[in-house]
Amino acid sequence: DPNFSQQWHLNNRGQRAYASSSGKWGMDLNLSDTFSAHITGVGSTIAVSDTGLEITHPDLISNLHVDNHKNYNSPAPYFGNPRNTSLDGDHGTSVAGIIAATGWNDIGVRGVAPGAVVAGLNYLNSGFETEVIFDQAMGNYSIFNYSYATSFVPYNALFDFDYAEIVQDQFINGRQGLGAIYVKSAGNSYMECDFFYNDFYIIDDGREYHCFPHNANSDPDNNLSAYIVVGAMNAFGEKASYSSTGSSLWISAFG
């Protein structure tokens, strides 16, 4: 994996990793012993509910669960190619690579769980109909990965009890009775700016903005007891500047 040396979150040796400064030696996931013990995620199926997935990517193709991909722009039951045709890149493919890029194949990078299999769910490009929202939280997956969050959620946003029941059922009965795992980003909105407010302004490019830290708790889904809501740390082991905060966070890890 020629770019493994730049993956500071797996093995931080103070490398710059294409950034403007170096990180802190040893500030990583400490997976050396895990990989040496051949613990690589074999047997786990991970649903990446995101913008889509490039199913022909050479560093992913051998770790994809081809029968479980879903495209929520197609009719139910939604099975099909989850590819995102955007020319600006595909967040879902990037996330899938961080999770399960094939290891030791002389291509690209190495995933955190390079023996796991991934199914791509093209969800964020959908119309978010109720049936779609429910469906992307169900299925024969060990882990549901939600690397997205919302900003400017109204503080009086309503909690969807039907959705909560689906997640709770999967949490208890999924993964062949062991319980499915839901991992969700707290968000990248620690400092959001909105020009619709009339106070606490800063000046930027001639426009006036109201800026404030976004509370991850304002997203009702982040308060589901089944969710592991995750904040981001940087290569120094400090809070990433963009990472949303709130009491709904269970853990923070390297972003």
CA 66 to chain centre: 20
Residue from 138, 98, 249, 111 nearest 187 by CA: 249
The pTM assigned to this predicted structure is 0.89
249, amino acid identity: L
Q: Please give the average per-residue pLDDT across 49-56, as a whole number.
A: 94
Rg (CA), the chain: 19
Q: How much is the average pLDDT of 113-126?
A: 96
Q: Are 218 and 157 in contact (CB under 8 A)?
A: yes
Per-residue model confidence (pLDDT) at position 220: 87
Confidence of residue 197 (pLDDT cuts 50, 70, 90): very low
Backbone angles phi, psi at 132, to 5 degrees: -70, -45
* Confidence label for 189 from pLDDT (cuts 50, 70 and 90): confident
With a cut of 80, say whether residue 50 has pLDDT above it.
yes
Residue 70: CA count within 13 A, CB half-sphere: 24
Closest CA to 123 of 162, 194, 69, 176: 69
When pLDDT is cut at 50, 70 and 90, the band that residue 206 belongs to is low
Stretch 26-45: mean pLDDT, rounded? 94
Token pair of 64 as six digits: 């994809």
Percentage of the chain surpassing pLDDT 90?
Answer: 73
The band of 201, judged by pLDDT with boundaries at 50, 70 and 90, is very low
Q: Largest Cα–Cα distance in the chain? A: 58
